Structure formats: structure tokens, C-alpha cells
A = this chain, B = another copy of it.
């Protein structure tokens, strides 16, 4: 596995995070574009040229996790928080002193399910992540055991907030609850989940 120094991480992130951000715009306009055929063909050729340049040297491991020289792993590729992943909004989870996890984000056309609404599965994806954040400990990631979602109102595309907190802890299991709110503060999805931290190797 490629191991990167903190300097290499900073330099790579400074190059790739803005590129991924531009790529998010490209994903969005690809859905909404009504450009002339000739412009679409030129854009397609530019996309293929960009892929060739970036693909000229690829990480040898099949997927996206990278280790750092100080033993951490990078989450550049993560589908929801990855700074190099154009699928990721990206989500930034904030945790307060009580362990409450919150994420504010804006979901545009690429996250649509029913017309003008966020796809119910995208709500699930976000809530899974924010609920699990209440269970994560440094060097002890938590895995989802069960997740239950109750859809109480449509979630319009636009700004949304996800919130989660711990209901109780029992022998390595965190019982978390949370919800998704629309721009007006209306709860659209309620969630509860059980998250499991594998026992530390002894």
C-alpha cells in the first residue's frame, strides 16, 4: 500500500480537492445541459482527455484507501465525505461536546429521486453516516448493524440538515437516533440505528 507523508497529503489535497469540486459542477450541468450537439461532442472529448491525463498513473491497489506514514488512513475516496470523490457532496460532520453529530449540506439535481425531491435512498445514505458518527471512536470505527428509516414528509432538493445523537450504549453497541430536516426546519425523515465497534485485538 502506498504510504504518504503529511506533506504529500497536503500537496495532493490542494491539487485534487478543487478538481473534484469542479467535477461536481460538471456532473450537475451534464444533467441539466441543453447545449448544442457540437458543444456536447466537444465537452465529451475534453472529458476523455482529462481521464487520460489523470489515468496516466493510477494507485496500484484496486481501490481508494491510502495509508499515511503516521498510520492513519485517508478517506479521499469515501462516497459521502471524500474530498476527491465527486459523488460526495462532500459531507462535513460536526460533533459537539455532548457527542451530538450535525451535518449541513445542499443537495442539487444529482441527488434527485422523485421530481424536485431528494431520493429516499440518499436520505438513508446521509443518515447512516451521521448516525454512525455518534458511535465512532478514534481508531475504533463503528459498523452499521441495523438502520430503520421512517419517511414522514418529502425532502425538497436544496439545503438540508442531518442530526444524530446517542440514545444509549451497551457492550460495544451504540443505539443512535437522528433525523433529516429541510430548509424550513421541517423533519422529513426519522432514523434509528445500532452501530457496532468490533472488539479491539488484545
Q: A79-B111, A109-B63, A147-B148 are in contact. Are A57 and B33 (CB under 8 A)?
A: yes
Across the interface, do B63 and A112 meet the contact criterion of CB distance under 8 Å? yes
Closest to A128 in B: B121
Q: A128-B124, A157-B63 are in contact. Are A112 and B33 (CB under 8 A)?
A: no
A23: which B residues are within 8 A, CB to CB?
26-27, 30, 47
A126: which B residues are within 8 A, CB to CB?
121
In whole angstroms, how far apart are the Cα atoms of A189 and B188 in the complex?
A: 24
Is residue A59 within 8 Å, beta carbon to beta carbon, of the partner chain? Answer: yes
Q: Which range contains the number of A residues in contact with the other chain? A: 35 or more
Across the interface, do B35 and A57 meet the contact criterion of CB distance under 8 Å? yes
Q: A109-B77, A144-B151 are in contact. Are A54 and B39 (CB under 8 A)?
A: yes
Question: Which A residues contact B (CB, under 8 angstroms)?
Answer: 2, 11, 15-16, 18-20, 22-23, 25-27, 29-37, 39-44, 46-51, 53-59, 62-65, 73, 76-80, 82, 84-87, 108-116, 119-122, 124-129, 132, 141, 143-151, 154, 157
